[in-house]
Amino acid sequence: MRIAEPLQDDCPGAVQRDCRHGHTENGCEDCKVRLFSVCAALESCELDELDRISHARQIPAHSTLFEQGALAGSVFNVTEGIVRLYKSLPDGRRQITGFALPGDFLGLALQDRYGVSAEAVTPVSVCRFLRTAFLSYVDRKPHLLRRLHEFAGHELSLAQDQMLLLGRRTAEEKIAAFLLNMQTRYARIKSMSVTVPLPMSRQDIADYLGLTIETVSRTVTRLAREKVLLIVPDGVRLLDQERLKRIGVA
């Protein structure tokens, strides 16, 4: 239940925001991801407070948000666009550990250093918080911490699925699972559609699935030849979802 008027002690009345640094017009209130991101754990009045420590930022495509191993100065909530999260080996081999979509939170673990690097795949909008400010906010909001922990649990579960995929599935199974997965994740922010946008490069998909770019290309082409899907500009259209599920789902 959302409460319009502040009711709790720690909601210091209707304080008018005096600082609008880089915020969208109405701050969190009309944020696109408000209702399904971590912030959904917060009431309107609490949100106001969060608003005051947040900084809306636009990040151009292909630029870096943060780098693996660097001190975690900020945490981010993605509100628009796609971010790739990855780990690299010194010789250049790369494993993308996930793609962050709107509503996803970067720096969930709240650790003092980033465990992965993050780069914008498309132009990205984020809601940025200084880690220290966010931490002290979290300390005063146990239900937000619960929410963050739920998100972390979900991430962990996804990571385990991905381990199964990387360690034990064939190229075709990997591709099928990836496409179905992206489809359901997009459904959350747009609406369920048979057209799955793939703004990331083939190399990104390969590095996410533990394959080479050639194998990704060949496998997708073959699935298209077999009328399981149709390749469209910047994505695919899933023609035979049943077949795809039979290939890709556990």
Partner DNA sequence: CGACTGATTGAACCAGCTCAACTCATGTGG
Partner DNA sequence: CCACATGAGTTGAGCTGGTTCAATCAGTCG
Rule CB under 7 A: say whether 217 interacts with DNA.
Answer: yes
Q: Which residues contact 176 (CB under 8 A, 6 or more apart)?
A: 223, 244, 245, 247, 248, 249
Structure-block tokens of residue 41: 């754990």
- Binding partner at 152 among DNA, its own copies, none, C-beta below 5 to 8 Å by kind: its own copies
- Binding partner at 23 among its own copies, DNA, none, C-beta below 5 to 8 Å by kind: none
Burial readout 86-103 (b: 16 or more C-beta within 10 A, e: otherwise)? beeeeeeeebbbbbbbbb
Rule CB under 7 A: say whether 170 interacts with DNA.
Answer: yes
Q: Which of 28, 33, 45, 209 binds its own copies (CB under 8 A)?
A: 209
Rule CB under 8 A: say whether 160 interacts with its own copies.
Answer: yes
Q: Which of 70, 156, 189, 194 binds its own copies (CB under 8 A)?
A: 156
- Encoded amino acid at 36, one letter: F
**Residue 65 vs 148, nearer CB to its own copies:** 148
Site string for its own copies, 163-182 (x = CB under 8 A): xx-xxxx-------------
Rule CB under 7 A: say whether 8 interacts with DNA.
Answer: no
Contact by Cβ (8 Å): 76, 110:
no
Number of H helices and number of E strands within the chain?
Answer: 7, 11
Q: Which stretch binds its own copies (CB under 8 A): 4-12, 27-35, 74-82, 156-164?
A: 156-164
Contact by Cβ (8 Å): 196, 248:
no
Rule CB under 7 A: say whether 239 interacts with DNA.
Answer: no
DSSP sequence for 168-195: H--HHHHHHHHHHHHHHHHHHHS---SE
Contact by Cβ (8 Å): 121, 101:
no
> What CA–CA distance (Å, rounded) separates 119 from 109?
18
Q: What is the binding site for its own copies (CB under 8 A)?
A: 87, 89-90, 93-95, 97, 108-111, 115-116, 139, 142, 145-146, 148-150, 152-157, 159-164, 166-169, 207, 209-210, 250
Q: What is the binding site for DNA (CB under 7 A)?
A: 170-172, 201-203, 210-218, 220-221, 231, 233
